[in-house]
Structure 1
Amino acid sequence: MARVKRGVIARARHKKILKQAKGYYGARSRVYRVAFQAVIKAGQYAYRDRRQRKRQFRQLWIARINAAARQNGISYSKFINGLKKPLLKSTVRSWLISQYSTK
């Protein structure tokens, strides 16, 4: 059986990781072993923070809707309950859009 030479494949894999680590500080952008760890950790942070961003935006939207609802003399919970009733959906949605499109 012929000998398998992996030099080209290994170099390509290293280049791919170093390209992903471009812009990192010090050895993290130059040394494969350190760069690999940095890229893996960055991926973990990105995965976690994509979910955190969704949570934070939901908090922000709730706070904004609550503020707008209270300006009109209704609590957030009653407002959301009203949204779930079919007749109000379209009117409330248009009201919400008008509240934040003017700013």
Structure 2
Amino acid sequence: MTRVKKGINALKTRKNILRKVKGFRYGRSTKERQANEAIVHAGTYAFEHRKDRKGDFRRLWNVRLSAALKENGISYSKFIPLLKKANILLDRKILAEIALKQPDILKKILETVSQSKAQK
């Protein structure tokens, strides 16, 4: 079997690894083995947190919407079922955006919901 020298390939690999860990602290940014380990963990955390982000935003929308609804004298837990009964198909993301940027429109939605509550 012929001898294979890794020279250029090893340097390329090392360079790519160290490029990915630029800005990391201590040996994780300079030492190949620690850098490799850091890349693996960083990828795992990134994957987990991409999934977590969805729930984080949903919780944020709920809190924002709840705060806006309290100002208008109704609780979040009472509002959501009324919204479903009134057949209004706005999701929490859109409602939170409306509550934040256009509170007058949220009041109109509340009026619509309360009217449908009175009718049924």
Aligned residue number for residue 50 of structure 1: 50
State the TM-score, normalizing by the size of structure 1.
0.71
Task: Note the aligned Cα RMSD (angstroms).
Answer: 2.9
Cα shift at 1:49: 2.2
Distance 2:46 2:31 in 1: 22
Residues 50 and 95 of structure 1: is their aligned pair in 2 closer, same or farther, counting only changes over 3 Å? closer
| Partner secondary structure for residue 74 of structure 2 | coil
Contact map agreement 1:82 1:88 (CA 8 A) in 2: no
Aligned residue number for residue 68 of structure 1: 68
Number of residue-to-residue matches in the alignment:
101
Aligned residue number for residue 117 of structure 2: none
Q: Describe how 1:1-103 pairs up with structure 2 within 5 A.
A: 3-85=3-85, 87-89=87-89, 97-102=97-102
Q: Deviations over 1:76-96 (max 9, x none)?
A: 223222333464336xx9875
Distance 1:95 1:3 in 2: 67
Q: Which structure 2 residue ranges, 5 or more long, are not aligned?
A: 104-120
Select the structure with the greater relative contact order (CA < 8 A; seq sep ≥ 6): 2
State the TM-score, normalizing by the size of structure 2.
0.63
Q: Which amino acid aligns with 1:41?
A: H
Q: Which runs of 4+ in 1 moved over 6 A?
A: none
